[in-house]
Amino acid sequence: MKKERLQKVMAEAGIASRRQSEKIIAAGRVQVNGQVVRQQGVKVGTSDEIRVDGVPIEKEQAEYYLLDKPRGVISSAHDDKGRRTVVDILQEAGVSARIYPIGRLDYDTTGALLLTNDGALANKLMHPRFEVDKTYVAKLKGIISNEEMKTIRQGVEIDGHRTQETHPRLEAVDHDKHTCIVRLTIHEGHYHEVKRIFAAVGHPVLKLHREQYAFLNLHGLTPGQFRKLRTAEVDALRQL
């Protein structure tokens, strides 16, 4: 009988992401065959009974959604401060699966965000070595120069870490307001990566919108709206 790590089984059952499942285990909220398990790496099989907060887990049908995340919403399944989350948006519309976001967008950042209960796919897409392209449109303070664009393209130094080569493109300039719009495609996922890249060349981000995740765009969606991914789209994500 094949056994798998407990946190993987929990993720595939839609409890939470694999990383968040590890935190749930460490908090003593998980029982295997009636015994509380806190250590990581425990392996379980199909004959083992797993409970989270006293509730038996069952593998859910995998579901995949693309959300146009609005400004002022938390990219999380829960928020300790009671703020509205991206999961709240889908649940309010009748989605009952225990989904969670793949990665995060900042509280004030809008745009494309994937949500699923497929822990295996989520884990792969978030892993740095898969280098999933993400395209952002940023409104910047000041008017960026060609030399600064070249610096961004070649990579900037952030806290001892040099960003990988990127593909910035100047979209618009407002000389009266002294602002500009730049489109940038990256595949890294460091904390506040896009904001810190532009700050490194002296142009704070005033507004940030993720226009595209991999090949998925927001055509037909407005902020707060979402749609289910098509089977072909899910298959293509797996191929990434």
Q: Which residues belong to CATH 3.10.290.10 in the chain?
A: 4-56
- Give pLDDT < 50 ranges for the chain: none
Can 106 be counted among the known catalytic residues? yes
pLDDT value of residue 16: 82
Q: What pTM does this model have?
A: 0.78
Fold entry, domain 4-56: 3.10.290
Domain with CATH 3.30.70.580 in the chain: 64-129+218-239
pLDDT value, residue 1: 56
pLDDT digits (tens, 9 = 90+) for 123-138: 888 876 777 899 999 9
Domain with CATH 3.30.70.1560 in the chain: 133-213
CATH level 3 topology of 64-129+218-239? Alpha-Beta Plaits (3.30.70)
Quick: pLDDT tens for 161-188. Answer: 888 888 899 999 999 999 999 999 998 7
Alpha carbons 189 and 161: distance in angstroms, whole number: 12
Task: Determine which one of 48, 79, 88, 106 is catalytic.
Answer: 106
CA end-to-end span of the chain, whole Å? 30
Q: Can you name the CATH fold of 133-213?
A: Alpha-Beta Plaits (3.30.70)
Q: What is the DSSP string of 77-144?
A: S--TT---BHHHHHHHTT--S--EESS---TT-EEEEEEES-HHHHHHHHSGGG---EEEEEEEES--
